[in-house]
Amino acid sequence: MHELSLSSAIVNTVVKHAADRRVAVVNLRVGRLRQVGPDTLEFYFEFVARDSVCEGARLNQEVVEARLRCNPCGLEWGIELPAFRCPTCGGSDVVVASGNEFEVDSIEIEEAECIAPR
Amino acid sequence: MHRTKVKVVEEALDANNTIASANRADFDRAGVKVVNFMSAPGAGKTTLLERVVADLPGVRVGVLEGDVQGSMDADRLASLHVPVTQLNTDQGFGGECHLDANMVRSAIPALPLDEIDLLIVENVGNLVCPAEFRIGEDTRVMVTAVTEGEDKPLKYPLMFRACELVLINKIDLLPHLDFDLDHLLYNIDQVHPDVERIILSARTGEGIDGWREWLLRVAAREQVAA
C-alpha cells in the first residue's frame, strides 16, 4: 500500500504549485518500473485529496515505457520483463533511459475569467 | 470559468529525497555510516543482525528498529548490549508499511550518533514500499530467504535493484525444499546484474563471516557526498 504515501506525495507536490487555486486535473507520468497500481493510486488519491486544493480532481496517469541503454555498446531497447542485462553484449553496465518516472507533469486549474483592467 | 494548464515537471518524491539528504548530512557530520536493511517479513533480518552486531571489531554499532508495532525485535538486539532505538510506524492509518525520510528524521534526536560508527536501520518487513523511500542511508541491503521462492526478483525488481547487497538466507533449509538456488541466482542476475550476493544461514552461522566482513568494509568506507 505504498500508493497511500505516493498519493500524499502527489498532493503535496501539487499544493506547492497550485497557489491556493482549485485543481481540476493532475497529469502524472508513471514509469513502468515503479510498481504502482493505477487503480489503487487513484483510490488513495481521491481520499488524500480531500480538504485540499486537489479535492475532486481527476488523476490522469500516463504510463512511461521502460527503456534501457547499454553504456559500452550503445544499444537502447524496451523491456516488458525485468531483465537488465544487455541482450547484445551481455554486459551489466546498463542504465534506465526511461521507466523510473513518478512525476507530476502538469496541473490544470479552474479559474474565474479575469475582468480586472490590464 | 476557464482552465489553465500549469507545467510542473517535478518528481513527487522530491520532498522525501530532500529530507533524506538532510538526514544524510547529519549522519555524515557525525561520521556515522548508515545501512538501510530491508526484506519481506520473516526473512531473518533481526536474526542476521543478532549474529553480527556485537562482533564487529573496532566498529561501534547502533540499530534503529522500524516496526509497525511493538518492541520485540528491539528487545532481542538490546540484549546484546548495542544501543537500539525503536521507531514505531503505527501513528495515523494503523501503521505505515515502510520507513520514510521524515520518520527517520524524527528519530535522529534519540540516536546516540556520537557513540556509534555504523547505524543499521532495520526497515519494516515489506518487499515493495521500502524500496521507494530513501531515508538518508549510505547503502541498502536486502535479505531474501530460500523459503520465499526463486521468482521473487522478478516480482519485486525495484527492491532487488535498489540494493547493493543481497543476502540469501536460510540455506540450512535447502534439503527440505524444492528450491533451485541456481535459478534464484540467475533471476537476481537478470534483475540486477553483478549485484553482490552472500549465501548464508543465520541459524547455523554458515556464510555469516562474509556478512560481518561486508559491514566492516562499509564502516571503513571513505565518506562521499550524498
Give the whole-number percent of chain B exceeding pLDDT 70.
96
Of the partner residues B4, B12, B98, the one whose CB lies closest to the CB of residue A111: B4
**Is A74 domain-assigned?**
no
8 A C-beta contact, residue B124 and residue B36: no
- Are B3 and A85 inside 8 Å of each other by CB? no
To the nearest whole angstrom, how far is the Cα of A55 from the nearest Cα of chain B? Answer: 16
ipTM of model:
0.84
Rg (CA), chain B: 18
What's the CA gap between B68 and B95, in Å, rounded? 5
What's the CA gap between B68 and B52, in Å, rounded? 24
Query: What CATH code is carried by the domain that includes residue A28?
Result: 3.30.2320.50
- Are B128 and A2 inside 8 Å of each other by CB? yes
The whole-number pLDDT of residue A116 equals 60
* Average pLDDT for B163-177: 98
Strand partners, B11: A103
pLDDT confidence band for A63 (50 / 70 / 90): very high
To the nearest whole angstrom, how far is the Cα of A70 from the nearest Cα of chain B? Answer: 12
How many domains does chain A contain in total?
1
Nearest to B130 by CA among B167, B101, B164, B107: B101
pLDDT confidence band for A118 (50 / 70 / 90): low
Q: Tell whether A71 lies on the interface with B, counting CB pairs under 8 A.
A: no
- What number of helices (H) and strands (E) belong to chain B? 8, 8
Interhelix angle B14-29/A2-18, rounded to 10 degrees, is 100
Of the partner residues A28, A35, A113, the one whose CB lies closest to the CB of residue B158: A35
* Average pLDDT for A90-95: 94
**Is A80 domain-assigned?**
no
pLDDT at B163 over 70: yes
Strand-pair category, B33-39 with B196-199: unpaired
Yes or no: is domain B14-219 CATH 3.40.50.300?
yes
8 A C-beta contact, residue B129 and residue A58: no
| Domain extent at residue A23 | 2-65+99-109
pLDDT confidence band for B1 (50 / 70 / 90): confident
**Is A84 domain-assigned?**
no
Interface test with B, best of A1, A23, A43, A58 (most B CBs within 10 A): A1
pLDDT confidence band for A29 (50 / 70 / 90): very high
**Is A75 domain-assigned?**
no
* Average pLDDT for B17-28: 97
**Is A7 domain-assigned?**
yes
Q: Tell whether B129 lies on the interface with A, counting CB pairs under 8 A.
A: yes
pLDDT confidence band for B9 (50 / 70 / 90): very high
pLDDT at B94 over 70: no
The whole-number pLDDT of residue A115 equals 62
Report the residue of chain B nearest A10, measured CA to CA.
B12
**Is A27 domain-assigned?**
yes
With cell 488519491, the residue in question is A45
What's the CA gap between A34 and A67, in Å, rounded? 13
Backbone angles phi, psi at A35, to 5 degrees: 55, 40
> B-chain residues within 8 Å CB-CB of A110?
1-3
pLDDT at B130 over 70: yes
